[in-house]
Chain A
């Protein structure tokens, strides 16, 4: 099935025929095999797929942590595959926000400082920093743990602080890599609701996950298989529950036992 490109608004992210090859000439692994997709401003996209489908490689290419072998990736119309190493830091700093599976907070800094650091690295004026930090912390429900150190917080709180750090700079794109991977179901739900709120407030989010429940919070779900975009589901006006069931169908068809049976 061909990917859908009919987006009503200008795309924040466009991938065009992105390929990523690993290994030597004799033994090539095709991690990404011509992926093309668009993400519009304000979208919330979940990228799903079984292990080895290339979803993390795709995210690494989008986040400039890795470079595609061929193809182009545009963020806000700028070709990031053509950026020099010096420009990459600036691109990451200004356009991207990251949320990782392990929150990746700095253990020597308090929550407040962890969030503020994203701003100070971005050279935000010092007088704006405290208000922006408090504002985003309130939106994510972590205002009361701002002066705690990461080891004094629960896993869920850490992930939400990480989310706050990711969006405090108003990035064009928030990239989340298995953000609920290390959380229990209650904390997962809290984080996912927070991300949904952020999306409702205008943030563009791309989330890589193998968890159908997490993906059901997105507005659109893309399925990767063997390095290609294999299927796409759009939530539209459906309830989250219905969307979840649809995703489950695809997942069981795509991977897991379903695939084995086939």
Chain B
């Protein structure tokens, strides 16, 4: 009999249950689709590199799932709480009819169970469909293929989905039963009659709190912008704490503040339905401020996550495009890697024996060298002369100390951390040889002049300031002037990281002391033929010759290749990384965004049902349909817009700091990704807003 009541209830208040149902089904669907990514990938024909990328992605995703489960759990409990609260009166009637509270709880349990199980089933089905779509998208991103139609089902993902949601479900159940059993009959019967009391009554207090919240947020912004994220010390934690408290306070006081402020200007308050809209907002913000703050926080995370993800992915592609000038780069450290002034280079390694001529060594070791490579240029950076004394007398520390640099905080932090580095010198003839091979214009250097080599574009600003404020440097006892236009940006060796040389001086050849050995040697090679065709043979040849020393043992012995990088290899790797980062960003972003939008939509739709009576009164008082629609739009709009505006403001500040880091790593500016992210957010969130508004309007006009 109780099951009958429960089923009847689900059928009757289908609209209310629908929201709960959809939320649950959506959660299951997304959770399964992303959880099954390894099994999806199993049917795609892809390379070993890419497969390991997918495994890495799956690992990160499973870590993230804990976070996602918490978010979805919150969402489900929230949706459910709405459902329970809306039905207080109904429970009251059961109690007055003499049903005891445990039986009422039983009804609730059965209801939740029915909806939950059906939602789980539907969600899994949808998840299967979504994972099928994702499989093809993944294959597309990896430029891999799937043969014919394949149906991929992941038992592990399905099982973990069921387990997670069973857990969420249990929490919901416990929550429901405890909520219902704590109800008092009198409250249930009167549930519809008592509207919330305005908690914040005094104008001065809400004004003070509101201003305080603005001040807190302002201070937090300032701290973050000044100190960045990387600086040692509690600054980041302080900024986070301040902005959290500030945001909570903001949403707590804003409606009271706005109401009182508007009341103070009768011309606005006593016009049309303004008064009604303000009261509507204020009547609910008392309970809504916490959930609005949470929505704001989630939106913030979503925007930051999606934005950073996309800009890292795009940034990597961009820096790859810029950084893969040569077909292959071999970098070695002919005098050992770890070098300090106190412990000078060893000068008796294999490089010294070859007279530091790496290309000669390559020709000797690789029998088919000329078949593979059509061109090669060796570039050396020198730090110490034959006696172990620094060639450049001016230290980085001195240069930075004499430079007044007011650029971004992250670069400043880096400046402070890198001062014990020595400047190196590169003979101009080597630089020009490399420039010619790369198709760039060679430079001309007059006697007594030098240039500064920096291929990290994000540090251009810093080096511009340094060279402008320190026009001269001491090299080998002589004074060299920076030439006009002192920075050169040629890529030192192939890299995906945006640059490999920052702070090398390009000097006339005679400034390099005789007998000095290079501290860093790069051999950049061009293939004899198409890049993709020569690549395997070239890589095999290098492996064959130096596989036993590359990247292992002593750097001194790894001559002439400690690291071998190929343009093709970097490009292959990056397609995998792009997939990983893009998926992560979309996963987190979509989950959070949909979560926020659902919470808001739920609130508004549930309110709309309560508001039917109020809007009918307005209509009877002679308010036109247009006027009422505007009031409704304003009401829903404020709820959707406010958390978004605050989240965007927070995200803009946070991202400007993240931007410095991303730019430093990849030379890419987040701004470009921001446009895409905003479009994405507006489309998804705006869609929810529109649906909510239209549905609410429909509910009102049908009534």
Question: Which residues of A line the B interface, CB within 8 A?
Answer: 65, 86, 89-94, 96, 98, 104-109, 113, 116-124, 126-127, 129-130, 149, 151, 165
Chain B residue contacts of A113, Cβ below 8 A: 275-276, 279
Could you name 13 residue pairs across A and B whose Cβ atoms are closer than 8 Å? A89-B619, A98-B621, A104-B617, A106-B614, A109-B276, A113-B279, A117-B275, A117-B276, A120-B270, A120-B271, A121-B273, A129-B266, A129-B270
> Roughly how many angstroms separate A186 CA and B323 CA in the complex, as a whole number?
90
> Roughly how many angstroms separate A65 CA and B275 CA in the complex, as a whole number?
25
In the complex the two chains form, is A65's CB within 8 Å of B620's CB? yes
CB distance from A259 to the nearest CB of B (A): 33
Nearest 3 CB-CB pairings of A with B: A93-B622, A92-B622, A126-B270
Q: Which residue of B lies closest to A85 (CB)?
A: B625
CB distance from B652 to the nearest CB of A (A): 35
Q: Does B194 contact A (CB under 8 A)?
A: yes
In the complex the two chains form, is A127's CB within 8 Å of B614's CB? no
Chain A residue contacts of B280, Cβ below 8 A: 108
Q: Does B12 contact A (CB under 8 A)?
A: no
Chain B residue contacts of A108, Cβ below 8 A: 195, 276, 279-280, 282-283, 614
| Given A108-B614, A120-B270, A151-B195: A89 and B624 interface contact (C-beta under 8 Å) | yes
Q: Which residue of A lies closest to B193 (CB)?
A: A151
Chain A residue contacts of B193, Cβ below 8 A: 151
Q: Which residue of A lies closest to B266 (CB)?
A: A126
Max count, chain B CB within 10 A of own CB: residue among A94, A107, A119: A107
CB distance from A239 to the nearest CB of B (A): 35
CB distance from A163 to the nearest CB of B (A): 14
> Roughly how many angstroms separate A122 CA and B627 CA in the complex, as a whole number?
11
From A93, A106, A119, B270 is in contact (CB under 8 Å) with A119
Q: Does B274 contact A (CB under 8 A)?
A: yes
* Interface bin, chain B: 20 to 34
CB distance from B543 to the nearest CB of A (A): 76
Scan B578-620; emit 1 where CB is below 8 A from any A CB, else 0.
Answer: 0000000000000000000000000000000000001001111
Max count, chain B CB within 10 A of own CB: residue among A65, A104, A113, A117: A117
Chain A residue contacts of B619, Cβ below 8 A: 89
| Given A119-B270, A126-B266, A129-B266: A98 and B276 interface contact (C-beta under 8 Å) | no
Q: Does B272 contact A (CB under 8 A)?
A: yes
- Please give 8 more A-B residue pairs, beta carbons under 8 A apart, in addition to A108-B614, A121-B621: A65-B620, A96-B622, A107-B195, A108-B195, A117-B618, A118-B621, A120-B272, A122-B622
> Roughly how many angstroms separate A122 CA and B622 CA in the complex, as a whole number?
8
Chain B residue contacts of A165, Cβ below 8 A: 621
CB distance from B603 to the nearest CB of A (A): 15
Chain B residue contacts of A121, Cβ below 8 A: 272-273, 618, 621-623, 627
Chain A residue contacts of B272, Cβ below 8 A: 120-121, 123
Q: Which residue of A lies closest to B622 (CB)?
A: A93
Q: Which residue of B lies closest to A109 (CB)?
A: B279
CB distance from B483 to the nearest CB of A (A): 71
From B194, B620, B622, B625, A104 is in contact (CB under 8 Å) with B620
In the complex the two chains form, is B622's CB within 8 Å of A126's CB? no
Max count, chain A CB within 10 A of own CB: residue among B193, B266, B272, B622: B622
> Roughly how many angstroms separate A165 CA and B621 CA in the complex, as a whole number?
9
Q: Does B11 contact A (CB under 8 A)?
A: no
CB distance from B390 to the nearest CB of A (A): 77
In the complex the two chains form, is A120's CB within 8 Å of B614's CB? no
Q: Does B267 contact A (CB under 8 A)?
A: yes
Q: Which residue of B lies closest to A94 (CB)?
A: B622
Chain A residue contacts of B276, Cβ below 8 A: 106, 108-109, 113, 117
From B194, B269, B279, B622, A89 is in contact (CB under 8 Å) with B622
